[in-house]
């Protein structure tokens, strides 16, 4: 089925208005949560001191080396400060850019693996998720990490599944994984490598290991990652031990892991799945719908018929699965799963549309239009409370108008379908 021009315009309008609307809020709220303030202040010190090798964090005892995370996101934010000046909007801008990058990556790959219809729907599901909309304008490193892990997962899968341009895809996957590592450390590698291993286990097929050269990814990854770690260890003796042991092993095993910068978030085992569910609101309701007795068989058949979809499912569950027995975690640790669960929902919903075009199409379309109107209501109420600018309110009115237009289109299409049936 070809993608209608009207559908494409509606989806792009929603995304553009939503992104602009999110950008309008950058300067109207102070940095919230110690994490956001921390990740905004470190690049500020880079700009003022000129020291781009060692991230420095303001603490009660003064400026101290921040050895908990690699520097890539800090470099990007510092560059944003250089361009736009040191302000809240500049600190949050990199996350918006990474979100836009994620939307392009998702559209490109879903179109390639499935269809343009599923690609457009996956973008709608992803960006209309509450956590995605909020974090796309927050000074956090997890959106940047997710961009690179998503690229790594998808290009690695492309390298495995194709014979043509295998080396090209493998190099891009390696570069993406290296950038993910330079953003948040070893977890960037884990979230790229483990999904394909889980998928291979499910498929009972590891033959791809014989078809790719290990030298290419190892050399590419090492060329990007090792230089900064050498320089940082020279500048801060003991850095490697603290970074790899305390921050990336001990913190997941012990409550008191020797954190130099505060205390970690401690939660019961299995909290990662609870966080995963909450982070995907309001589409969590759709996930529950897929488990209904009348729907389960169709979902099972769709997943069983597509190795590509099974791989996306593996990518979607990897973050909550990996952190299941981790107590020191934050809800943003689950963020890398959201692009993939959005794709899964989009593909399953579209397959349902093909099997029952009238009912499912109406359901999805109404969901999108009501989401638009709900978003506009949130913006209007928030704007009234926090006294946002005229432009932010104008954006919300535009979103409301778009939602009304979508509802009108749905009614017209329903009427046309009823006439066809009669």
pLDDT in tens, 365-409: 555 555 555 655 665 565 555 555 555 566 556 656 665 665 565
Please give the structure tokens belonging to residue 55: 């991230």
Higher confidence at residue 47 or residue 354? 47
Q: What pLDDT score does 404 carry?
A: 61
Cα–Cα nearest to 333, from 259, 251, 225, 242: 251
For 94-118, give one letter per residue: b (16+ CB within 10 A) or e: bbbebbebbbebbbebbbebbbbbb
Q: Determine the Cα–Cα distance for residues 176 and 221; give it in Å rounded to an integer.
A: 9
Q: Determine the Cα–Cα distance for residues 75 and 176; give it in Å rounded to an integer.
A: 16
Model pTM?
Answer: 0.83
Helical (H) or strand (E) element with 65: strand 62-65
Please give the structure tokens belonging to residue 125: 């599901």
Q: Determine the Cα–Cα distance for residues 279 and 143; give it in Å rounded to an integer.
A: 13
Sign, CA dihedral 93-96-100-106, equals positive
Angle at 220 between CA 216 and CA 226, to 5 degrees: 135
Higher confidence at residue 122 or residue 211? 122
pLDDT, mean of residues 141-157: 97
Q: Determine the Cα–Cα distance for residues 353 and 115; give it in Å rounded to an integer.
A: 13
Cα–Cα nearest to 358, from 291, 419, 406: 419
Q: What is the largest CA-CA distance in the chain?
A: 79
327 pLDDT higher than 80: no
DSSP line for 198-241: HHHHHHT--GGGGTS-SHHHHHHHHHHHHHHHHHHHHHSTTHHH
Other residues' Cβ atoms within 10 Å of the Cβ of residue 182 = 22
Q: What pLDDT score does 85 carry?
A: 93
Q: What pLDDT score does 359 carry?
A: 47
CB-CB contact of 324 with 99 (8 Å):
no
Q: Determine the Cα–Cα distance for residues 243 and 159; give it in Å rounded to an integer.
A: 31
Which residue's structure tokens are 């996956």? 122
Q: What pLDDT score does 417 carry?
A: 46
What is the tens place of the pLDDT at every residue in 120-136? 889 988 998 888 988 99
Contacts of 337 (CB under 8 A, 6+ apart): 276, 315, 316, 317, 318, 319, 320
Q: What pLDDT score does 410 carry?
A: 53
pLDDT, mean of residues 204-225: 90
Please give the structure tokens belonging to residue 97: 């850019």
Angle at 334 between CA 300 and CA 29, to 5 degrees: 130
What is the tens place of the pLDDT at every residue in 25-57? 776 555 556 778 889 999 999 999 999 999 999
Looking from the CA of 192 toward its CB, the CA atoms found within 13 Å total 33
What is the average pLDDT score of the chain? 83
268 pLDDT higher than 90: no
Listed in sequence order, the DSSP H helices in 242-389 are 271-279, 284-290, 293-304, 307-322, 338-355, 357-386
């Amino acid at each position: 089925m070809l993608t209608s021009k009207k559908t494409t315009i509606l989806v792009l309008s929603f995304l553009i208005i939503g992104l602009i609307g999110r950008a309008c809020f950058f300067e109207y709220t102070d940095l919230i949560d110690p994490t956001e303030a921390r990740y905004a202040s470190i690049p500020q010190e880079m700009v003022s001191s000129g020291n781009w090798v060692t991230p420095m964090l303001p603490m009660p005892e003064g400026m101290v080396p921040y050895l908990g995370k690699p520097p890539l996101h800090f470099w990007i934010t510092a560059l944003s400060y250089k361009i736009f000046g040191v302000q809240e909007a500049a600190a949050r801008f990199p996350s918006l850019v990474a979100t836009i990058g994620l939307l392009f990556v998702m559209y490109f790959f879903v179109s390639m693996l499935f269809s343009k219809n599923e690609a457009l729907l996956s973008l709608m599901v992803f960006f209309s998720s509450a956590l995605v909309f909020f974090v796309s304008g927050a000074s956090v490193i997890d959106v940047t990490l997710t961009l690179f892990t998503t690229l790594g997962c998808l290009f690695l899968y492309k390298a495995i599944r194709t014979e043509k341009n295998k080396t090209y895809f493998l190099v891009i996957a390696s570069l993406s994984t290296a950038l993910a590592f330079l953003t948040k450390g070893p977890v960037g590698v884990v979230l790229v490598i483990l999904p394909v291993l889980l998928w291979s286990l499910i498929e009972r097929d590891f033959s791809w290991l014989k078809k790719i050269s290990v030298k290419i990814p190892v050399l590419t990854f090492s060329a990007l990652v090792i230089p900064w770690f050498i320089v940082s260890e020279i500048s801060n003796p003991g850095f490697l031990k603290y970074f790899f042991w305390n921050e990336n092993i001990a913190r997941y095993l012990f409550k008191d892991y020797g954190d130099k910068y505060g205390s970690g978030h401690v939660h019961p085992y299995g909290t990662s799945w609870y966080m995963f569910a909450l982070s995907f609101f309001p589409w969590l309701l759709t996930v529950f719908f897929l488990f209904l007795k009348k729907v389960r068989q169709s979902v099972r058949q769709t997943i069983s018929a597509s190795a590509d979809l099974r791989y996306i499912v593996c990518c979607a569950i990897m973050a909550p699965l990996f952190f299941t027995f981790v107590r020191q975690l934050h809800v943003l640790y689950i963020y890398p799963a959201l692009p993939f669960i959005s794709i899964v929902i989009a593909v399953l919903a579209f397959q349902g549309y093909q099997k029952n075009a009238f009912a499912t199409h109406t359901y999805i379309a109404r969901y999108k239009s009501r989401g638009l109107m709900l978003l506009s209501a949130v913006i209007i109420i928030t704007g009234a409370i926090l006294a946002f600018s005229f432009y932010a309110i104008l954006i919300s009115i535009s979103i409301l108008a778009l939602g009304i237009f979508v509802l009108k289109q749905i009614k017209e299409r329903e009427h046309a379908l009823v006439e066809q049936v009669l």
